[in-house]
Structure 1
Amino acid sequence: MRALILALIFATTSANAEGFGPAGLLSGKNKEDLPPITLSAGAPLTDAPWILKSGTYYEFEIQGDGSQELALIGPEFFRAIWIDEIVVEGLEIRPLGLDSIEFDEAGEMEIGFVAIKPGQYYLKIPGSSGETQRLDITIE
């Protein structure tokens, strides 16, 4: 009897697995691309604030032009998300957490993450006070 039950469970599981693609948080239906962040001396980071939904997977690029050494800080934001990966020149990094990033020269980085904790957050260039040097982020 046990063997029959196990065989039925295995057959049902195998049949269901063949007809469906990825599911859950990392599925293609749950992914959104965000506008890139630009790190350039005196240039705005982005055109508009980000409004994110908790449980959605997002990807964005950070593009540094090398005009000066620039960093982005946002420890509260980085603790309100789960970072899947950071890709730099084809190298994939899967960190447990993040506090800030810095570009010493021109380059590009892509970050994939799941928004988790609702609230108001920001990413900004440290030491700056201008509104264009700050990206306001809302997770709903």
Structure 2
Amino acid sequence: MKPLLIALLLASPALADDDTPKFGMAGLLSSKNKQDLPPITLSAGEPLAAAPWELTSGTYYEFEIQSDGSQELALIGPEFFRAIWIDEIVVQGLEIRPLGLDSLEFDEAGEMEIGFIAIKPGSYTLRVPGAGDLQTLQITIR
């Protein structure tokens, strides 16, 4: 995973035309490269999000997943999770730095925050298994 991150840092447009740094000392993890996404809501029979996500490869994103506990719900999206580099997942103040992710599940009400860098361009889906199109989030990485 480290070679991939190093390659991304070297290939990123870190210098502008006038050779001034575009990012801070943290490179892709710099606050100048960070964007917040709208939260995903896990609730029985409710949509996951108001609109699809349009992401840019090389940008750092953060979003929250909020569950109201109305039902035990999972969120799956292995293709999406393999197209991003997850920096951290924060649950009740505990920071988790996973090597990868396939799915996650809320057994009760709660929330988590995920920070990641979009890497691989393409179209992806996050969804609640067996819930149909209503509980699906379409994601495009450009």
TM range (shorter): 0.7 to 0.9
What TM-score does the superposition give when structure 2 sets the normalisation length?
A: 0.82
Alignment of 1:25 with 2:28, yes or no, is yes
Residue in structure 1 matched with residue 19 of structure 2 by the alignment: none
Which residue does 1:89 correspond to in 2?
92
Which entry has the higher C-alpha Rg, 1 or 2?
Answer: 1
Distance 1:21 1:81, change over 3 A: closer
Instruction: Give 2:48's aligned amino acid.
Output: L
Cross-structure match for 1:59: 62
Q: Which position in structure 2 is the counterpart of 1:135?
A: 137
Report the CA distance between 1:22 and its aligned residue.
2.8
Residues 46, 132 of structure 1: 8 Å contact kept: no
Structure 1 segments unaligned to the other structure (5+ residues)? 1-19
TM-score (norm 1): 0.83
Q: Note the aligned Cα RMSD (angstroms).
A: 1.2
Secondary structure, counterpart of 2:27 in structure 1 = coil
Match of 1:116 among 110, 116, 119: 119
Deviation at 1:51, TM superposition (A): 0.3
Alignment counterpart, residue 48 of structure 2, candidates 32, 45, 48: 45
Alignment length, in residue pairs?
A: 120
Q: Secondary structure at the match of 1:25?
A: helix
The percent of aligned pairs where both chains have the same amino acid is 81
Q: Secondary structure at the match of 1:128?
A: coil
The answer for the alignment partner of 1:69 in structure 2 is 72
Shift, 1:55, TM fit: 0.1
- Contact 1:54–1:115 (Cα < 8 Å) also in 2: yes
Aligned to 2:102: 99
1:82-132 CA-partner distances (Å, limit 9, x unpaired): 000000000000000000000000000000000000000010001121x22
Task: Give the conservation status (yes or no) of the 8 Å contact 2:24–2:31.
Answer: no
